Chains A and B, each alone.
Chain A
Amino acid sequence: MQKSTYISAGGHALLLGYALFGGLFEAEPLELPSMDISVISEAEFAALTAPAQPPDVEPIAPEPVLSAPEPETEPTPVVPEPEQIPDPRPEPPAIVEPEPIPEPVIEPEPVPEPAPEPAPEPEAVVIPDAAPDTSLRPKPRPADRVAPEAVAAPEPDVAIDNTAQEATQPDENAEQVVEEQSQTAPEEAATEIVTEAEQPAASAPTSTVRPKSRPRETASAPDTSAAVNAALAEALGEPAASDETSGPTLTAGETNALRLAVQNCWVVDVGSQAANVTVVIGMSMDVRGKVTPGSLRLVSSTGGEGSAVETAFQSARRAVLRCQKEGYELPDDKYEQWKEIEMTFNPKDMRIR
């Protein structure tokens, strides 16, 4: 036991001694960025900065980047054939069409910098003769003399501070600032998970009922109304209308068709005195839709007298007779409704003002 204790103590002592005196924990110096510099003369410096562009860039740069592809040398926009451009090369940068061509066209010679703008569609080349600036970097303007003004000295390089700074530690005593947050609705939660398959069916109907078709007029309807009207009139103590026509009435479309047919033949002399006269003419119709001969008559007139009324009547009569041809198109089953017609010819909207 004692022996092993001695051995252990001795080993530790050796280790400590090596650590203290053997340089085991000696810190290595920090690696700092270093630059290789060489001292050159003023003449050498001038020789380096005098050329506007690196001699190796200047002759090449315009050609690969600026020279248009061979098909584009013509002033008219020509779509270069893919076969004519075996090697991809960049398009002239001045063309700003945004869409890039599928294959980048690159000059065979190495290019110092890739073209910044995507190559345009060939069709968009509209200014082939306007040579864009081809230099990749601005050329200095040639100057005959050195500027006399003194140039301000550049700022000294930033010195590297070797002083070690302690890392910051969170201050436990510091007051904790809590950011205010707007209130939001609590996240929806449920006591149990409900899968989509288990969701109840929506209350909205998934289909609508087809609307019912309009009830068709039947021949029995007027009979009903006549009976109801008769009963009503009897109940009210009024005499029943004797001139009421039985049968289904004409629809608005049927009436309008007749109106249009007649008005297309109604010639109005807008400058005449007859244009101030409104006439109502009556007529009897046969089952073919033609005016019964001799039945056309003047019922009433307003707005004039004498020859003006006679002319207005003639004009209306002519319109009815001229456009009837083989008979007006009227529904046979409603003949009772149109066997007697009264037409009012009112030229109020046609008068000259």
Chain B
Amino acid sequence: MTLRICIAVLAMCALPFASLAQSGPLRIEITEGVVEPMPFAAPNFVAESSAANDFAERLARVVVSDLAGTGLFREVPRTAYISQLTSFDAPVQYADWKAINAQALVTGAVNVSGSNLSVKFRVYDVFSGAELGSGLQFAGTTQGWRRMAHKVADQVYARITGEDPYFDSRVVYVSEQGPKDKRRKRLAIMDYDGANVQYLTGSEHLVLAPRFSPTGDRVLYTSYETGFPRIYVLDVGNVQRRVLESQEGSMSFAPRFSPDGRTVVYSLARGGNTDIYRMDIASGSSSRLTSAPSIETAPSYSPDGSRIVFESDRSGSQQIYIMGANGGEPKRISFGKGRYGTPVWSPRGDLIAFTKQSKGRFHIGVMRTDGSEERLLTASFLDEGPTWSPNGRVIMFTRETQGATGSASLYSVDISGRNLKRIPTEGGASDPSWSPLQR
């Protein structure tokens, strides 16, 4: 008993001193950081042949443009450089790049032989004094120099951010020319940044809603060639097309590929009722997935192909629902005020982008697949038609300005709501569909 009392007294005496002692290393928790672009340096690539001088600079410019265009990186002005890159294999003077606060350094070299172009690059973490990954080389033709620059930028982006890249991708959209009441529309395809525009159709007939296939080689779209909306499938390589769905007395629209590319899900209006159908591309057989007397449209598959998200006004107002890939009872996931439409499942599978109309304004927003954590990313007179970048990080959409002279343009925004910017296009542009990353 006496021993216990002594121990207790001793323990009480020791308590104040125990806090002064520290067990193991000093531990600190940091929960607040900063959100700002990372400064990086990308000096002109080293030209390893005289013919490569022009390409060396142009390649570096596109790489810089890609990285800075994400809003996650900021180029350190070249006038601030202390070191100049003269050889691709020369050791990096980290102190020089640290001094100008460049956190990442991209070096490259270009060689041109005839029409063949090769480019190699390295990425360095300046403050760690180490290379990120290892050097890589791409080979192609001089005509495809821009795509090779995107490839380099993709690698740099992926190594620094840990995200899947998206620069080497294309966008199919509806090009718009002329005044609003006499607007001519045709399908066009371009690089994700607006370069290399090519037209896929003429402007004789109204075309709508082009959608890339999962492999990026085909495009589904709706055309009024016959006077009624019909779904066509177009081969991007040879620009050949064929009608996919044609039933007398019906209108088909809003098509979208399944993730495996074998099935198309679309809307069919017949007898005053619009429902969602699914068609097997190979056999041409179709099946009805919804049968409500309300309007069901704008279907979009989940990345695994097991579910379909779509819009419906069965509750009295336009809302977003999810059902199984084979139909069944849908589950409503949007419950906010306003009208929700054009849902698109993210390639990551975690988010659903949508268009929301509320209080006279349009928004592009995202929500979890259960409808939670809704966030509106944009707001304007008319924003609609979101499409995801291949890595699920950026959303491109149509923004139309008000008035008789208003026009449609393509915009993109990061899913964090930052970095809203216009995609440069010739004339008006609407209804974008982002391709997967090119192989």
- Could you tell me which A residues sit within 8 Å of B by CB distance? 217, 221-222, 224-226, 228-229, 231-232, 235-236, 241, 243-246, 248-250, 255, 258-259, 262-274, 282, 293, 296, 307-308, 310-312, 314, 317-319, 321-322, 337-338, 340-350, 352-353
Contacts and interface: CB of A to CB of B under 8 A. Distances in A.
A232 B34 contact: no
9 contacts: A229-B21, A267-B35, A271-B414, A272-B163, A274-B162, A318-B127, A318-B128, A343-B29, A349-B31
Most chain A beta-carbon contacts within 10 A, residue among B18, B28, B33, B128 = B33
A347 B31 CA distance: 5
Given A262-B30, A342-B26, 20 more contacts: A221-B20, A222-B21, A226-B21, A231-B10, A235-B6, A244-B23, A245-B21, A267-B33, A267-B36, A314-B132, A319-B33, A337-B26, A338-B26, A340-B25, A341-B27, A344-B28, A344-B30, A347-B31, A350-B33, A352-B417
B18 A272 contact: no
Contacts of B204: none
B7 A235 contact: yes
A348 B31 contact: yes
B20 A267 contact: no
A331 to B, nearest CB: 12
B375 to A, nearest CB: 7
Given A235-B7, A268-B33, A255 B26 contact: yes
A24 to B, nearest CB: 113
Contacts of A268: 33-35
Nearest to B23: A244
Interface residues of B, number: 48
Contacts of B49: none
A306 to B, nearest CB: 8
B125 interface: yes
Nearest to A317: B128
A245 B22 contact: yes
A271 B416 contact: yes
A346 B127 contact: no
Given A308-B162, A343-B28, A222 B20 contact: yes
Q: Across the A-B interface, give the 9 residue pairs with the lowest CB-CB distance, nearest first.
A: A225-B17, A311-B162, A340-B25, A266-B33, A271-B416, A307-B162, A268-B33, A228-B14, A321-B127
A319 B6 CA distance: 50
Interface in B255-290: none
Nearest to A344: B29
A353 B415 CA distance: 11
Given A264-B34, A271-B415, A249 B21 contact: yes
A232 B15 CA distance: 11
Contacts of B13: 228
A229 B17 CA distance: 8
B24 interface: yes
Given A318-B125, A340-B25, A228 B30 contact: no
A266 B10 contact: no
Contact of B38 (A267, A342, A343): A267
Given A272-B163, A274-B161, A243 B127 contact: no
Contacts of A282: 25
Contacts of B160: 311, 314
Given A318-B125, A322-B103, A273 B162 contact: yes
